[in-house]
Amino acid sequence: MGLITKAPRGTLDKLPAEIHKYQYIERTAVDTAVLYGYKEIRTPVFEHTELFKRSVGDTTDVVQKEMYTFEDKKGRSLTLKPEGTAGAARAAIENGLLGEALPLKLCYITNCYRYEAPQSGRYREFSQFGAEVYGANTPTCDAELIAFAYDLFTKLGVKDYTIEINSIGCPDCRASYQEKLREYYAQFTDKLCRDCTERLAKNPMRLLDCKVCDFKEAAPVILEYNCESCGDFFARFKAGLDSLGIPYVVNPKIVRGLDYYTNTVFEFISNTGTVFGAGGRYNGLIKELGGTDTPASGFALGLERIASIIENFPMSRVPDIYIASMGEKATAFSLKLSQDLRAAGLFSECDIVGRSVKAQMRFADKIKARFTVVIGESELESGKVMLKNMESGESVEIALDGIHEQIS
């Protein structure tokens, strides 16, 4: 197959036969978000490359290996967003949203781009639903975030998954942990990949998510190095989840692959091991990006991954009626009739191809229309039409202007 009829590697066409799944997930997510006070934000698909270096972190795999970075015609370095948090934070700062009523809750649906090795559930273009809260530095805020995700999963029918949580502490406890990691990794210095050798000096935590070097099993875990106040924060976060009756598992090995996290981190994992969502607190990011020091916390869900684990989706809507017509006058009439029925909220189709009645009825069958009528000269004259229920095969004669009452 030639290049022009083959989508780029790692991308996914969301075809009409399954688009209702995405529409359902997105609609449910946005509708649920409203109940928690989130407002939607849409930010550009590309940002200045520096934004991701400063937020996601320039020693992370995402920044070092996975970004789609290009220069525009004026030589500016731009990057397709690899995730949604940085762009939302940038927009909140730039547009003064953090100077308004806090906490501010923003949600988004966005495409993201990462040059990763494609495999099942891992794409180079994928989409996220994200939720971010700014201006609340409490375990209650993190518990509410998890409650939002939990509520959403319940509505979507996501079953058999685990909420794994951890605390990666504040910059203070992180510093002593980083030292412990350096000591631990010292024994492997001659075996580390080139990136990890650099990371060991700059940001040893990133060795824990290297996909090449595999020495993390026996590495010290950050939870044990949380300072008193971070430990207390984590305990209160867990108590918040307990009081909401939300089940979770503490996984001290979660460190997340992005640099901006502080304290709470979590992942949503299916029973087949798919991480379909993740997030955590990022108290330092807004200041790091030049905004007023504002704590923040959030999560993002991978829509393709969620779609793959939901078992039952509501069916996509089928036409309520197909209006077949014979002759020019009847075709013009059926177009107007269709329009009237649509105005009354019905899904109506009529012939726009100029096919024979037989071919029109075959089409009505293919598109699974619930009812059909055939309109010709005699129906126009009598004002009566045979309405056929396509499932039962039964037909009844009704007035042409009575279709709406009969089928709605």
Among 26, 116, 151, 288, binds ligand HAM (CB under 6 A): 116
Among 305, 333, 334, 361, binds ligand HAM (CB under 6 A): 305
139 binds ligand HAM (CB under 6 A): no
- Cβ atoms within 10 Å of 361's Cβ, excluding its own: 18
Number of residues that bind ligand HAM (CB under 6 A): 25
Among 128, 226, 270, 331, binds ligand HAM (CB under 6 A): 128
Residues 48-87 as x/- pattern, contact with ligand HAM by CB under 6 A: -----------------------------------xxx--
- Under DSSP, is residue 235 helix (H, G, I), strand (E, B) or coil? helix
- With tokens 């969620």, the residue in question is 306
- With contact defined as beta carbons under 8 Å apart, do 238 and 248 qualify? yes
Q: Which stretch binds ligand HAM (CB under 6 A): 122-130, 183-191, 243-251, 349-357?
A: 122-130
- With tokens 């959403």, the residue in question is 152
Among 254, 278, 361, 369, binds ligand HAM (CB under 6 A): 278
Q: Which is nearer to ligand HAM, 55 or 338 (CB)?
A: 55
Q: Which stretch binds ligand HAM (CB under 6 A): 21-29, 271-279, 372-380, 381-389?
A: 271-279
130 binds ligand HAM (CB under 6 A): yes
259 binds ligand HAM (CB under 6 A): no
Among 169, 240, 298, 319, binds ligand HAM (CB under 6 A): 298
- Angle, vertex CA 374, rays to CA 368 and CA 377, nearest 5: 160
Beta-bridge partner residues of 374: 324
Separation in Å, CA 391 to CA 71, 183, 384, 398: 57, 72, 22, 18
Which amino acid makes up residue 243?
A: S
Q: Which stretch binds ligand HAM (CB under 6 A): 125-133, 175-183, 238-246, 378-386?
A: 125-133
What are the structure tokens assigned to 306, written together? 């969620």
105 binds ligand HAM (CB under 6 A): no
Query: Torsion over CA of 41, 45, 46 and 49, rounded to 10 degrees?
Result: 70
Residue 406's H or E segment, with its range, is helix 403-407
Question: What's the distance, Cα to Cα, between the start and end of the chain in Å?
Answer: 46
Strands 104-113 and 371-375: unpaired
Separation in Å, CA 81 to CA 62, 222, 259, 262: 10, 29, 16, 22
209 binds ligand HAM (CB under 6 A): no
In angstroms, rounded to a whole number, what is the distance separating the alpha carbons of residues 78 and 88?
16
319 binds ligand HAM (CB under 6 A): no
Residues 343-382 as x/- pattern, contact with ligand HAM by CB under 6 A: ----------------------------------------
291 binds ligand HAM (CB under 6 A): no
276 binds ligand HAM (CB under 6 A): yes
In angstroms, rounded to a whole number, what is the distance separating the alpha carbons of residues 331 and 68?
51
Residues that bind ligand HAM (CB under 6 A): 83-85, 114, 116, 122-123, 126, 128, 130, 132, 258, 275-280, 282, 298-300, 302, 304-305
